Structures are given as C-alpha cells and as structure tokens.
Structure 1
Amino acid sequence: MPRMPTRPLAFDRAMHAVLDACRYATTPAGLFVAVHQALKPHVPVDRWCAMTLDPATSLPTGGVHENGFSVAGGERVLRLEYGGPADVNTLADLARSKAHVNTLSAATHGHVETSARFREVLAPEGLRHELRAVYRDQHGAWAAMVLLRAPDREDFDPREVELVAAINEPLTRALRRLLLLAEMHTRAEPGAPGLVLLEPATAAEARSELQVRHASPIALQWLDQIDDSSAGPLPYALYSLALRAAREGHAVTRIRARSGRWLTAHAEAALAAGPGISLILQPSRPHEIAQILAGAYGLTTREAEVARLVAAGCTNEEIAKLLFVSRYTVEDHLKKSYEKLDVRSRSELVSRLFFDQYVPRTKQEIALDGTGWFM
C-alpha cells in the first residue's frame, strides 16, 4: 500500500510558531505582528500589512499598516477597494470565496498589469507580487493580511499560499478571544461578557473532571440565568462545552436564558497558562451595523439589512435567499436606500458606508467589541 505524502517539516515548524504567536498575543495589533514574525522565515516579504474586519460587512476596522504602503498609496488602495469600480482580488471577494487566499498573479491569470491596484499603487511603490488572505469562521470575516514582494523576488509559490491559508483557524480564534476579553475588561454594565476559569479537579474531588478556579461577578449573573441541570460545577450545557474545548482546543454554543435572551458561550483550552479552560459568556446579539445604518441614514430595518449585505458583497439573488424575499423586493429596498443615501450604484453605497462610518471610527481608534464592531 503506497504511503500518504506528508507535509514538510518546515510547514509544521511554521504552524507551531503561529500557534505560539496566537497563544501569547494580548492585542489584535500584537497578534498580527507576532504572526507575521512567525511566518517571516517561511514566507519572506518586502512589505506587509494586516487589518481587522467587521464580520457583518467585511470592511476594515483597524490594523497594522506602517510596514505596508505609503500613506498616499494606502489611501489610494482604499479608494480602489471601496470607492469605485471593483478591482480584482478584493477583500470582499476573498471573504466570500472558497479559498479565501489568492495572489494577484493568479487572480489576473498572470497579467497583473490589468489590475488598477497594480498600475496605480504596487508598481509606483516598487512592488510586483501580492498575496492577500482573509481569515474567517462561521460568523464571518475577522481579519485580512496582505503580503508584498518587489520585482526582483519570485512570486508566492503554492506552498507559501497553502501555509498562509492554513493559519486561518488559530488566527481567527485568537482574534475573537482578544476582542471578547477586551470587551469584558472595558464594559462593566449588565450585558457585558463574563469570564469563568476552569482547572482540572484534584483526585479528592470525584464529582467532576473540572472545577471553577474563578468566576467574574457578571459571569455569575449569567450562570444564574441558565435554566439547565448541573453537571459538576456548571450547567450541563456549559460543562459539556468545556470538555469539548479541552479535547478540541475551542468550542462555542448558544444557550437560551430564563429571560428568553440568548447567550453565546466560548470555551478555549488555556494552554498558555497551563492546563485549564477559559469560558466566556456574553449576550448573543446581531451585528450593530444595521442599527448604525438605520439611525444615520433613516433606513428601515430591512433596508439597512439589505445595505449591509450589499457591503458584504452579496448579489441581489443571494440577498433574496438570505432574507426569504423576492429579488424584486430586494431591488425595491435598494432603490429606496440609494435615494436616502444619495448614491446611484452598489459601489457608491459601499463607498458611502465605509468612508462615512468606518474611516472616522478607525481614525479615532475606537476599540472593537466581541462582534467586531466599534464599541
């Protein structure tokens, strides 16, 4: 029987370095820098940048840009990405694609000169090769990374592309955890996230495999709201979630509270601090961008949701299926949204949303909450 091919040892070393970077990072910017340093020996570049994305729209909400384009070049990239006719290999396209990682060369079938981004930014700044990656999970796109090389280097090869794609799960998991923890430390009112730290039980404690080492006051309030029989120190649903995280590294579930409100629980093996599980409880809530759209532009709830899905790159047919309405209803909502936002096309709508709502918040360095939206 033929032996299955194995990945090179260098690939495994790179993945271990990325996992360590994800484990010890304390901020999204620090995470991006650490991951880049972990990849650098295996995917060398001349310049790079990375950014957080709003999972509701795939629009940037901040990031690390000082090692990427010049200030003028970065502004031009944003204008090309969100302010005019769509270029190739956009972040929105990658967020919705199966691969979620691609080179500019592959996207243009080797004719990079056909890309406006190449002609107007990369070439003038002494760059030729570009690799873009969007990192996402079941909730949406959380981050993007852009790697750049000068003309005297080789283009990114398939193994490099594979490695950049392979870090999707640890990177999105780490970023999601950092956003949740940041929100937990920033917000103290009821409705904020709560933290429970679990550790393996001692031999003398036969009731369960895990015991609670710490529970924040907010976490205790949420635990009291869960109508479920107990398994050890926690409700059965959460204890099962923690055991799955101990086995798989990470697990998430939604639980209905006594009040009728839904809670989202994230459990993660706390490998950096020794054996144990961190459990974060927070209210489940929709992305807040629809509320922002409704309040800022006078859109109805459905018009705002259609506009959000347009920003995420969905076609009218896809929006109709997601909202369980006809394509003609979607077109009618879009027409009314265009009138209220004073725009004439989908690209102008996305541009208006990005430059009116995202850019000012990014410049003010407003922190992100656990949904990826600005606090």
Structure 2
Amino acid sequence: MGGRRRGEALTGIDRAADAGDLFGRASARLRRAVPFDAAVWAAADPETGLVTAPMLVEGLGERERCADYWESELLEENVVPFRDLARAAVPAAGLRAATGDLPARSARFRRLLEGQGVRDELRAVFRAGDRSWGVVSLFRTGGGPFTHDEVELVAGLSTPMATRLRRLARPAEPSPLPDAPGPGLVLFDPSGAATSLNDEAREHLASLPPGPSVPTALGVRLPIWIIGTALQARAIARGRDHGGARVRIRTAAGRWLVCHASGLTGPGGSPGPVALVIEPASAADLAVIIAESYELTPRELEITQHVARGLPTAEIAARLFISPHTVRDHLKTIFQKTGASSRGELVARLFTEHHWPGARS
C-alpha cells in the first residue's frame, strides 16, 4: 500500500519543466495521500543546505510570516531542524511524534505555528547521497497528527525528489549572455534589518525569480533566500552553527549567482552588522552543482576541469598519476553522461552555459 501511494505521489515529476513546476506537481499529488492544509517547498544549496530559489508557499496566509519561519529555523532552538534531518537515518519527521505530543518544546511552534492554528508539522529533506537538494514542511490545522505511515511515505519521496531537483540544475539551452553587473553589497544591522545596498545589488535582485520576500526601508524587497543567507551569518557569529553562509541562486534567465554573507564585529567584540555580497557565479562556484547535476564522480569532475583548462590527455594523466588510457575511459563516460560529443562541447555545456561573462567594471 505504501509503495503504491508513494508512486502516485511521484507521478509526473519526471515531466516537471523546472523546480517550481516540480514542487507544484508533487504538492498536488501528495495532498491526496497525506492530507495537509499548508506547505512550504524550497530548493536547497547542495553544499550548505541553505534554502534557495525557487520556493513554493501554500496556505498559512501565504507569505507573510515566511521570514519569521526561517529566522526561527536558524537562530532558535528547535525540534528536528532541517540540518539534523539532512543527516538522519530517516530524512522526515513529524513535530508531535518527535516531541512526545508536546510540540511547544519547539520555539518554532510556540512563536509561529501555534498562533496560526497549526496542530502538527511534517518536514523532510530531499537528499541524494550526502547532498540536500530541497526541503518541505507540511502543516495540519485540523484533524489528527501526522501518522508514522505518513512520515514514512514522505521520507520515501526524499531520494526521487532530490534526484529530479539535481537533474533540473543542469543548464537550459544556450542563450546570448548579457554583461554582468559587478558584485552587489547589502548591509544588515545587528537586528537583521537591511540598512544599505549598492546599485549592483539592485540589479542582481531584479534578476531573481519571483518568490516570498520581505519589504525593506530601502525600497526593495529581499527574497527569502537572501534573508536566509544573512540569518545564517548571524547564526555563525553567535556560535550556533559552523556551516557556511553561502548559497547559489538561479536567476529568472537561468544564470547563476552566488550569495555569501559574513558577520562583522562591533565595539568591544559585540555582534556587528552583516555584510552580504551577491555576484555572478564563477565556474569554480558551480563545480559541485555541475558535477552533481550530471552525476559525475569526483575523478570525472577533476578530469573535466583539466579539459576546461585546455590540457591534453597525456598531461592530464601525468598530473593525476594515471594512464592516458584511463583518462580516455573517463572521458568516454563523461561524454555519455553529459551528452557532449567533443571537448569543446563539453566545456561549453558544463561551464560556459552556466555562468556570466566578465563583470562590468
């Protein structure tokens, strides 16, 4: 029974045109098997686990409290945070089951969910191998809590959803590349409010896909994935996390930006502002996403990077201490996985199509 319901929930995901379409299809199908009243679906950066575009928010007043939800996730003590689920044997959990039917043990429930009438939350991480590619939270405002079978069903979606998200990270068809703005800078005060930004930041923000965002006093709305990166920098500064405050974001045109934030020190060593930089992603920034999206092994990615540098087979073999025959075997596999038929096509497909030309000075 569980296998049939899981299969029904996954019906059509292979036809999804992009991650947003994937979330919409999966949500509509899953609701039939696991009833819920609201949901948040989001892509995740496979290296840091931070949420990125796109994000689908359904119910609970739509997007008004979305920033508060992620602030609680990153800065407060909570039950089954996504970072723990990403490493758990079962990548899904229900809030009431995890707290012994005492959900108020979670700050997220006390501060946000209870006031919105939520009785239970089921959350999951979509992971393939040791990489997280997305997350989902399902909410119930009525009826009983999520059952063990429902948690197991959602957990069973983890690898298929991650595999599809990973594949959808591949580049779209080549298109003319515009000049890229230089690095954008956004400053946040210690409370998390955006206080200033440059024109380049405004240009980059305008290129991002639609999604949940928050207004600022600067006349621009900041997407949740930008807010989340700044929140992660604050969490690191407070000693709550050792991870990186860094996320790759795909623009509405299919190009990649990288966003990274750092907490600064105030007077007397007190927590200071957060500086966030958003800029065009380089090939090095995208190495993991590129390799994972084509299911390249670490060795295959290494060889591909040497090919991108223009090295011949013999020199690649010498640098990697393997035979030229082994290099050719790896290249054959790489061509099969990527659909490329030559070295030039391989470099264009895996690198040139993913990133911007040199930034404007």
TM-score by length of 1: 0.49
Per-residue deviation at 1:99? 1.4
1:135 aligns with 2:149: no
1:80 aligns with 2:72: yes
Corresponding residue of 1:342: 265
The two structures, once aligned, show a CA RMSD in angstroms of 3.9
Query: 1:56 aligns to what SS in structure 2?
Result: coil
**Among 179, 184, 189, which residue is 2:169 paired with?**
179
Distance 1:352 1:106 in 2: 37
Corresponding residue of 1:170: 160
Residues 83-134 of structure 1: CA deviation (Å, up to 9, x unaligned): x233221111111222111111122222111211111111111111100000
Query: 1:175 aligns to what SS in structure 2?
Result: helix
Distance 1:111 1:28 in 2: 34
Query: 1:154 aligns to what SS in structure 2?
Result: coil
Corresponding residue of 2:43: 52
Corresponding residue of 1:102: 93
Corresponding residue of 1:144: 135
Residues 38-79 of structure 1: CA deviation (Å, up to 9, x unaligned): 211110101111000011111000233331444332111111
* Residues 1-375 of structure 1 mapped to structure 2, 5 A cutoff: 8=1, 11-70=2-61, 71-82=63-74, 84-150=75-141, 152-180=142-170, 183-186=171-174, 310-311=243-244, 341-342=264-265, 356=276, 370=290
Asked if the contact 1:58/1:311 (under 8 Å) is kept, the reply is no
Query: 1:123 aligns to what SS in structure 2?
Result: helix
Q: 1:89–1:311: structure 2 CA closer, same or farther, 3 Å change rule? A: farther
Q: 1:341–1:173: structure 2 CA closer, same or farther, 3 Å change rule? A: same
Matched to 2:25, the amino acid is: A
Matched to 2:243, the amino acid is: V
Matched to 2:67, the amino acid is: E
Q: 1:352–1:53: structure 2 CA closer, same or farther, 3 Å change rule? A: farther
Per-residue deviation at 1:185? 2.3
Amino-acid identity (%): 27
- Which has more helix, going by share of residues? 1
Per-residue deviation at 1:308? 9.3
Per-residue deviation at 1:31? 0.4
Distance 1:343 1:104 in 2: 37
Structure 1: stretches of 5+ with no match in the other structure: 1-7, 190-292, 298-306, 313-337, 362-366
Structure 2: stretches of 5+ with no match in the other structure: 178-228, 234-239, 246-260, 281-285, 294-353, 356-361
Asked if the contact 1:57/1:308 (under 8 Å) is kept, the reply is no
Query: 1:61 aligns to what SS in structure 2?
Result: strand
Asked if the contact 2:77/2:107 (under 8 Å) is kept, the reply is no
Per-residue deviation at 1:158? 0.8
Larger Rg: 1
Matched to 1:173, the amino acid is: T
Distance 2:98 2:175 in 1: 43
Query: 1:310 aligns to what SS in structure 2?
Result: coil
Query: 1:124 aligns to what SS in structure 2?
Result: helix
TM-score by length of 2: 0.50
Distance 2:35 2:151 in 1: 12
Query: 2:40 aligns to what SS in structure 1?
Result: strand
Asked if the contact 2:77/2:106 (under 8 Å) is kept, the reply is no
Q: 1:343–1:134: structure 2 CA closer, same or farther, 3 Å change rule? A: farther
Query: 2:17 aligns to what SS in structure 1?
Result: coil
Distance 2:44 2:114 in 1: 26
Query: 1:65 aligns to what SS in structure 2?
Result: strand
Count of residues paired in the alignment: 210
Q: 1:340–1:165: structure 2 CA closer, same or farther, 3 Å change rule? A: closer
